Amino acid sequence: MFKQALRGGVHPSGFKELSNQEAIKRFPLPDTLYLSLQQHLGAPATPLVKVGDRVRKGQLVAASQGMISAPVHAPTSGRVTALAEHTAPHPSGLPVLVISLEPDGLDEWDDIEPVSDPFARDPQEICTRVGAAGIVGLGGATFPAAVKLGSSLETGVETLILNGGECEPYLTCDDRLMREKADEIIRGACLMQHAVQAKEVIIGIEDNKPEALEKMQAAAAGSGIQVKSVPSRYPMGSEKQLVQQLTGIELPARSRAAASGLVMHNVATARAVAQTIDQGRPLISRIVTLSGQALTHQGNWEVPLGTLASQLINYASGFDCKPARLIMGGPMMGIQLPNLHVPIIKGSSGILALTEEEINPTQPSPCVRCARCVQACPMGLLPLEMAANIRKGDVEAAQELGLSDCVGCGACSYTCPASLPLVHLFNYAKGELANREKEARKMKKTQVLAQRREERVARQAREREELLAARRAAAAKKAAEEAAEDNPS
């Protein structure tokens, strides 16, 4: 293990024991599933079904479009009852297009095809199958896994890292998965290693998960895969922190892990890869942690995608008291939900219902310049200075201070004694900069189109002029020839 000092980080209370005690349970099929066409980073999927269609379990119901996108498959057999907008699992609460599917109770599989002898196959074939199965980063990032695998294969990587950190408080879905499905994760890791042709695989697990560590080390025995314990410190699950802890490599600012010969995937993503290659099963369900002290029962559930958060809570728990905050994901980087009428998507690692006491709301007060946020930042940024500039409306100055390196981990906000909403300011400013860039690109495109139009109009005028001149010359020539014929000398 590399002993060099890690930058930043905080130690929030874990609350892991609330949900990590019991085995994963399977959630039964609800009356209706709401399959969002935007369950991943990138372009939304395009629906391939219409209202009234009967679909089978695992059938492709929406195709990926563009370079960065992922297809969507039916989690069970049934009938499509609607193709309409529905509340999105997003803080804005803005609607997204969803396919409503009414299960028929038969749970009848579509024709699915496992890959035989996968290690004898071309690595690109594994990447293609992973893409066709709609697998995305299940740690919450939801970046299409095949795109990451494919580009790693193309550029070449030495090391595949599997992230079993799960450093967010409350979340225990990866912990339980590693305890219960370690063999499948290791199998997925071997398949991913083949897909990217990596020389080595290292799995990092925080030391607050001893049972998971033990199970994973036992499953990896003899495979050549290294399973290592890393200190529990938020955000240990971030790429930069985990890579440094496991390999000693400090990823430079604004560079991608691939540039240092590394690629990182989540442990649950590896399991999904194994299920796809060995069983032909696309990504149609995921493990969701249900936690928070506003709930009667906490735990982990394997949930069909498209299940509403309200259906899951009503079945699995119910409320002990009125929740003060609802979150999809973890409390540090998750998104606050407008209500529970939102569907579980591929990135839904958890549904948290937190009490007033757990969120401990305090009014922000002026910055006391204690620099705790600077010490906490894993990216070596100056959160107080960036925030001061953003509050003045100078997002460019925040950008110069490294705003784009901010990973949005919230360690600065967590540690701030003035309760300043630092990470919210950074997310707002990043959105503002992205909008400006989009506007600038749009303006540039408009300028290019206008310039092309001007050039086209000028060219057409020139061509018209040349044509007229040619016609005039031909007419003059003909007239001269006729005059010559009329007056032979």
Q: What's the token pair of residue 322?
A: 């009125």
Angle, alpha carbons 202-40-162 (nearest 5°): 5
- Distance, in Å, from the CA atom of 133 to the CA atom of 127, rounded to the nearest integer, reads 10
Q: How far is the CB of 6 from ligand SF4 (least distance, A)?
A: 13
> 281 vs 430, which CB is nearer to ligand SF4?
430
Binding flag, residue 12, ligand SF4 (CB under 6 A): no
Q: How far is the CB of 409 from ligand SF4 (least distance, A)?
A: 4
Q: How far is the CB of 236 from ligand SF4 (least distance, A)?
A: 13
> 27 vs 234, which CB is nearer to ligand SF4?
234
> 344 vs 416, which CB is nearer to ligand SF4?
416
Secondary structure element (H or E) that encloses residue 60, with its range: strand 60-63
Angle, alpha carbons 65-94-286 (nearest 5°): 60
- Distance, in Å, from the CA atom of 233 to the CA atom of 241, rounded to the nearest integer, reads 10
Q: How far is the CB of 345 from ligand SF4 (least distance, A)?
A: 23
Q: Which of residues 37-96 bind ligand SF4 (CB under 6 A)?
A: none
- Distance, in Å, from the CA atom of 139 to the CA atom of 161, rounded to the nearest integer, reads 13
Q: How far is the CB of 330 from ligand SF4 (least distance, A)?
A: 13
The answer to whether residues 376 and 9 touch, using CB atoms and an 8 Å cutoff, is yes
x/- mask, ligand SF4, residues 402-431, rule CB under 6 A, reads ----xxxxxxx--xxxx-x-xx--x-----
- Distance, in Å, from the CA atom of 420 to the CA atom of 366, rounded to the nearest integer, reads 8
Amino acid present at 451: Q
x/- mask, ligand SF4, residues 355-394, rule CB under 6 A, reads ------------xxxxxxx--xxxx-x-xx----------
Within a 10 A sphere around the Cβ of 375, how many other Cβ atoms?
A: 14
> 174 vs 239, which CB is nearer to ligand SF4?
239
- Distance, in Å, from the CA atom of 333 to the CA atom of 348, rounded to the nearest integer, reads 12
Q: Which of residues 124-183 bind ligand SF4 (CB under 6 A)?
A: none
> 207 vs 405, which CB is nearer to ligand SF4?
405
User: Which residues are paired to 98 by β-bridges?
Assistant: 36, 84
x/- mask, ligand SF4, residues 180-219, rule CB under 6 A, reads ----------------------------------------
> 169 vs 378, which CB is nearer to ligand SF4?
378
**What is the CB-side half-sphere exposure of residue 79 using CA atoms within 13 A?**
4
> 171 vs 219, which CB is nearer to ligand SF4?
171
Q: How far is the CB of 309 from ligand SF4 (least distance, A)?
A: 26
Q: Count H helices, E strands: the chain? A: 14, 17
Provide DSSP, 182-211: HHHHHHHHHHHHHHHT-SEEEEEEETT-HH
Q: How far is the CB of 429 from ligand SF4 (least distance, A)?
A: 11
- Distance, in Å, from the CA atom of 432 to the CA atom of 350, rounded to the nearest integer, reads 28
Give residues in contact with ligand SF4 (CB under 6 A): 367-373, 376-379, 381, 383-384, 406-412, 415-418, 420, 422-423, 426
